[in-house]
Structure 1
Amino acid sequence: MAESNIPDFGDQPFYDDEILMHNSNPTNEGNVPLDDQSVHNEGQQQQSTSTSKSSVGPQGSSCSFLKRKEKASGSSSTHGPSSELVKYFESNFIIDDDKLDILQWCKSKQDCFPTLSIIARDILTTPVSTVASERAFCAIDDRFRFDPKSLIYYTSMANGIALWAWISATVALLLRFVWHVINGRRSRKRAVGFFHPYTNDGGGGERVLWCAVKAFQEELPDLDCVVYTGDHDASPQTLMARALDRFGVKLIHPPKVVHLYKRKWVEETTYPRFTMIGQSLGSVYLSWEALCSFTPLYYFDTSGYAFTYPLARMFGCKVICYTHYPTISVDMLSRVRDQNSMYNNDALIARSVWLSRIKIIYYTLFSWMYGFVGSCAHLAMVNSSWTRSHIEKLWKIPDRTKRVYPPCDTSGLQVLPLERSAKPPKIISVAQFRPEKAHTLQLEAFSVALGSLDANLPRPKLQFVGSCRNKSDEERLQNLKNRAVELKVDSDVEFHKNLTYRDLVKLLGGAIAGIHSMTDEHFGISVVEYMAAGAIPIAHNSAGPKMDIVLEEGGLQTGFLACTVDEYADAILSIIEMPETERLKMASAARRRASRFSEQRFFEDFKAAIRPILNHVSK
């Protein structure tokens, strides 16, 4: 390391006025303070010598400051010892070198002027300003004036830093994503994971879930069955008990459970607008949580979250799905184009031509995305002819699409007697309290039927049976009760929430008719249950009920199809006014038709569909 150019003046850490004024020369070794006379003599000596000293101005150089003629060595004051400062001024130095190093010179004189040398060291080594002296007191310095180029420079720098931060964050997220995917692929377990965030919805989808679990347990006993659920109170034992109590499905052994904590991202209340795309993208985030927690060999979606399929394939899973209905269909596009207001087409949008056009564009883009993600499934099982026709158009994988009718408990319901009391006649409605189930239409049709009922006929009762998934369903149920009061039929209407399977069977065994009103119902398990239990169905004239269920059996009518309030009211009156023999004949034909959709038929078709993919993986 290069040596410093600053001379070494010793280790004196400080100096003070006392040392400066009273540091005696060699003749005053005792450092005795000067008396008043000495001070007076020193003052005279300074005055007498001041004329011979060179004046040093503030702009003089260090050389001119030291250009003095040194006096003779014997010219010291005759008045006794003098201070170091007086001694310095009594000395005359002649230095003609313009390149004088003043620090080195002060060092050479530190024996004679120790205190002054320290002062010189401290002052001359202090950093000085780079501002010129003539500008030191300027009010405005050009360095601080506004420069547009500087603003552009700093703005560009800030943008660059922000861009760098964004790129860094993106790369970090991408690396984390890749790491989780690689880790998941390496740690895949020999298991089938059922992606079913709501295991307490009580609908036909949950019945399919438990029957599918049982089918896998029977087909591959050594394969673990894992259920991804957002119900935090769910456990293997409680789910096994629920499958038996609610649906009559007895599992071979309890399934394993993986709890999900991001289920709010698939809640419809999270997305007041753009609900479809919001829930679809939210399902990807939820499945990310599921697959990072547990990566199975087979990923089985039983809830219709098609946007999760590409992610499951990235994790190395074989993707299987049971699709109850397409998230979007040609029928939905037609309703928006015709500006028809429904639960999935707000009245505000339906009244506006421009908003309807924008929504058509939105639906068109979404249908393209839905087709792409759906095509990632290795096996797609659908529940009806109507669903298959739409899935084949959207996903374009007809060779991997199989129709498997959903499991309906026809065997347990077919033992119920067809003869039943008609005092009062009971009409049952079994459906979740969701907006698309159109419970209000049923209530209004029932009110119209009561208004047209012959006074000699018994007054019927309407029984609503369903489950509530969340707060929105609870509010919908309360609104339905309020509507019954407004229509003045509340005394003729019953509400049963979250019933057990045994209680449901009991109610079905006492009903003469079952009502269903969902437009484009993908299949309609409840309609089949009505028919198997001996209740004549009144179903919506669309989709599954129209194409697969309420069809003639042996040339005999099996039920009624309706669309409007008046059509439903007419069907209700027809069944109430129907003679008992005719009712029994129609109920018997409906029961025979329902046997086509039995639970046993589901197991046979389901196992036949999954065997090729299971055998392919085992090889």
Structure 2
Amino acid sequence: MLTMIIVALITIILFGFCIAPVNGRRRRNRAVGFFHPYTNDGGGGERVLWCAVRGIQEEIPDLDCCIYTGDHDATPQSLMARALDRFGVTLLSPPKVVHLYKRKWIEETTYPHFTMIGQSLGSMYLAWEALCKFTPLYYFDTSGYAFTYPLARLFGCKVICYTHYPTISSDMLSRVRDRSLMYNNDALITKSVWLSRCKIVYYTFFSCLYGIVGSCAHLAMVNSSWTKSHIERLWKIPDRIKRVYPPCDTSGLQVLPLERSTKIPVIISVAQFRPEKAHTLQLEAFSAAIKRLDPTLPKPKFQIVGSCRNKSDDDRLQMLKKKAIELNISEQVEFHKNVTYRDLVGLLGGAVAGIHSMTDEHFGISVVEYMAAGAIPIAHNSAGPKMDIVLDEDGQQTGFLACTVEEYADAIVRTVTMSETERLKVAAAARRRARRFSEQRFYDDFKAAVRPILCHVSR
């Protein structure tokens, strides 16, 4: 059955290339259609969406912006208000909204096995619904659904994308070869040589398909050096790939004072409640750190801030609360779900450090937000944080990188026990580095990237 689906997919792709010129003459609305099925996820991807809409509105004011969303209660006014309330982004006008009713076909729970190929094919079905309802001049994917690009070209659209991370990467293949246990490589696979080999074949074949569909983009913006290197290797269109760092609220957060109350040090974590964010590791590291601290000193507080997209995320949040009880740290841990932008700023303003623990985080907007707010970052020693963000600024350390529970615990202890003078020195350097990833920098680089694609649109 899977083989038949894949053959059908390849046929659609090839067929699309053959007839795209014919369909290119079909009537298309003078608009940019943003394919973003989850406009309530509350993460960095949604911030990119609203800043991209704002960037298009500034660049060509008379070009409509349309949002393809599976959130049925979304309206032009509610989305405009959400962009402001949650992210501090002021849109110049309300976007048009096209509601999608086939979103279940991209839910990971729909595909217990072969999840990547299932979601990819499901995204094509969802994009078909979107483009049949409203066909824009420009199709802009801000959620990473590369398998929709050939379909958009079939409808005669110019395809633009902002890729946060590759759906498949050489790092994922390496972990399967090494039989490393992780959220996307469970114990059943790692314990079996035969199953691991089968998964390698599956991943290799999928990466070939991913390369084919990704190469259909007329412009691919990527968010980091790590993502850029992988996408160039997979899609093989280096002249159409531009690195555009995501918009981080550095200006709004940099007005916060660097001085913090250290009577009860606050550690913060900002991330969606998703498995790859590794919240359990954070709790274990915080528990280990408390045991290493002087028992006569006040225990630090840990604030975990995140958003929930669906029931799976809600269930994960409940499991984390139970984990805190098991580790006997529930009195020191606070959970904040779906907070507003204003409340998030307030929480960041009281933290001395911020924890990030996702392996191969493509960029790490939350890490930059910590640095801009004056909270010393303790980030995972891989990908975006390692290559782009937590680097020395003018020879001064800007934060800590860690991998294991022990390394995170060490960094927490070092942060909460360092002198105020040393903490301020590190925090100030981190804040200076965060300016490299400002929202204005995003707008400048974003407009420079899309301008050649949009240049034929009359003003």
Bin the TM-score by the shorter chain: over 0.9
Tell me if the contact between 1:184 and 1:295 (Cα under 8 Å) persists in the aligned partners. no
Write the letter of the residue equivalent to 1:379.
L
| Deviations, residues 263-304 of structure 1 (Å, cap 9, x unaligned) | 000001001111111101100000000000000000000000
Counterpart for residue 425 of structure 1: 265
Q: Distance between the aligned counterparts of 1:588 and 1:221, measured in 2?
A: 38
Q: TM-score, normalised by structure 2?
A: 0.95
Matched, 1:569 2:406: no
Q: Distance between the aligned counterparts of 2:19 and 2:386, measured in 1?
A: 49
Percent of aligned positions that are identical: 81
Counterpart for residue 7 of structure 2: none
Identify the match of residue 319 of structure 2 among 476, 479, 494: 479
Going from structure 1 to structure 2, the CA distance change for 1:185 and 1:450 (only over 3 Å counts) comes to: farther
SS at match of 1:503: helix
Matched, 1:323 2:163: yes
Tell me if the contact between 1:550 and 1:558 (Cα under 8 Å) persists in the aligned partners. yes
Deviation at 1:453, TM superposition (A): 1.0
Counterpart for residue 219 of structure 2: 379
Tell me if the contact between 2:80 and 2:95 (Cα under 8 Å) persists in the aligned partners. yes
| Deviations, residues 6-63 of structure 1 (Å, cap 9, x unaligned) | xxxxxxxxxxxxxxxxxxxxxxxxxxxxxxxxxxxxxxxxxxxxxxxxxxxxxxxxxx
Tell me if the contact between 2:24 and 2:157 (Cα under 8 Å) persists in the aligned partners. no
Counterpart for residue 467 of structure 1: 307
Identify the match of residue 374 of structure 2 among 513, 519, 534: 534
Matched, 1:201 2:38: no
Unaligned regions of 5+ residues in structure 1, if any?
1-174
Q: Distance between the aligned counterparts of 1:376 and 1:614, measured in 2?
A: 17
Counterpart for residue 445 of structure 1: 285
Written as runs of structure 1 = structure 2, the 5 A alignment for 1:21-170 is none
Identify the structure with bigger relative contact order (alpha carbons < 8 Å, sequence gap 6+). 2
| Deviations, residues 286-335 of structure 1 (Å, cap 9, x unaligned) | 00000000000000000000000000000000000000000000000000
Write the letter of the residue equivalent to 1:505.
V
Written as runs of structure 1 = structure 2, the 5 A alignment for 1:175-574 is 186-574=26-414
SS at match of 2:165: coil
Deviation at 1:180, TM superposition (A): 12
Deviation at 1:343, TM superposition (A): 0.5
| Deviations, residues 181-203 of structure 1 (Å, cap 9, x unaligned) | 97885220010000000000000
Matched, 1:601 2:434: no
Q: Distance between the aligned counterparts of 2:105 and 2:223, measured in 1?
A: 26
Q: TM-score, normalised by structure 1?
A: 0.70
Q: Distance between the aligned counterparts of 1:210 and 1:587, measured in 2?
A: 29
Q: Distance between the aligned counterparts of 2:274 and 2:20, measured in 1?
A: 36
SS at match of 2:138: strand
Matched, 1:613 2:457: no
The 10-residue stretch of structure 1 (397-406 or 608-617) with the greater mean CA deviation from structure 2? 608-617
Counterpart for residue 578 of structure 1: 418
Tell me if the contact between 2:20 and 2:153 (Cα under 8 Å) persists in the aligned partners. no
Q: Distance between the aligned counterparts of 1:185 and 1:238, measured in 2?
A: 34
Q: Distance between the aligned counterparts of 1:324 and 1:456, measured in 2?
A: 44
Tell me if the contact between 2:159 and 2:219 (Cα under 8 Å) persists in the aligned partners. yes
Q: Distance between the aligned counterparts of 1:596 and 1:179, measured in 2?
A: 44
RMSD (Å) for aligned C-alpha atoms:
1.6
Deviation at 1:456, TM superposition (A): 3.0
Q: Distance between the aligned counterparts of 1:617 and 1:207, measured in 2?
A: 26
The 10-residue stretch of structure 1 (450-459 or 271-280) with the greater mean CA deviation from structure 2? 450-459
Tell me if the contact between 1:534 and 1:587 (Cα under 8 Å) persists in the aligned partners. yes
Deviation at 1:618, TM superposition (A): 5.2
Bigger Rg, which one: 1
SS at match of 2:455: helix
Write the letter of the residue equivalent to 2:369.
E
Write the letter of the residue equivalent to 2:188.
L
Tell me if the contact between 1:296 and 1:317 (Cα under 8 Å) persists in the aligned partners. yes
Going from structure 1 to structure 2, the CA distance change for 1:516 and 1:376 (only over 3 Å counts) comes to: same
| Deviations, residues 406-457 of structure 1 (Å, cap 9, x unaligned) | 0000000000000011121000000000000000000000011111111233
Tell me if the contact between 1:192 and 1:224 (Cα under 8 Å) persists in the aligned partners. yes
Write the letter of the residue equivalent to 1:584.
L
Tell me if the contact between 1:181 and 1:315 (Cα under 8 Å) persists in the aligned partners. no
Tell me if the contact between 2:268 and 2:303 (Cα under 8 Å) persists in the aligned partners. yes
Going from structure 1 to structure 2, the CA distance change for 1:361 and 1:618 (only over 3 Å counts) comes to: farther
Tell me if the contact between 1:304 and 1:321 (Cα under 8 Å) persists in the aligned partners. yes
Unaligned regions of 5+ residues in structure 2, if any?
1-14
Tell me if the contact between 1:185 and 1:295 (Cα under 8 Å) persists in the aligned partners. no
